[in-house]
Amino acid sequence: MQELDECRSMYEEKFGYIFVTCATGRISEDILDELKMRHRNTHVVELDIASKEEIKYIELHITELLSKKSVQTIDKGDVSAEYSGKIANDTLDEAETDSEDNLDDISFGGIDISRQFELNKAAEEENETLYAQ
């Protein structure tokens, strides 16, 4: 574990940001091996890899959130309860949420949101700076 911490510090010193990887389901030895391998990358290559790892992490957590869609049961005859805006217990880890919230309204709607934006775009002068490092 100490070696992992030392390598993380060296990585952060070299690249200027923390080591980013999607660690779900991985053991520390695998992460250490990846860290050592990626430390040899240039700034441009590493920025590309780190941004892709960040996207994996974000997509994983969005998927988990949407898979926990709230199932609220309201008596169909009680219209006042449905529109009252009172705080109601939800199935999302017993969190309190506004009863008017509807996760269906914010779901993907069949659109792959990870492909809607080009997150790796950089101005040409920024690319020149990165390649020079």
Please report how many Cα atoms fall inside a 13 Å half-sphere around the Cα of residue 32, on the Cβ side: 10
- Is 7 within 8 Å of 36 (Cβ atoms)? yes
Q: Give me the domains of the chain, ranges plus CATH numbers.
A: 2-69+119-132 (1.10.3330.10), 71-106 (no CATH)
Tokens at residue 28, please? 């520390």
pTM of the model: 0.50
- Regarding predicted confidence, which is higher, 55 or 105? 55
Res 3: pLDDT: 94
- Is 43 within 8 Å of 130 (Cβ atoms)? yes
- Is 72 within 8 Å of 86 (Cβ atoms)? no
To the nearest whole number, what is the mean pLDDT of the chain?
A: 73
Q: What does the DSSP 8-state code read for residue 116?
A: S
Torsional sign, CA 37, 41, 43, 45 = negative
- Per-residue pLDDT for 53 more than 90? yes
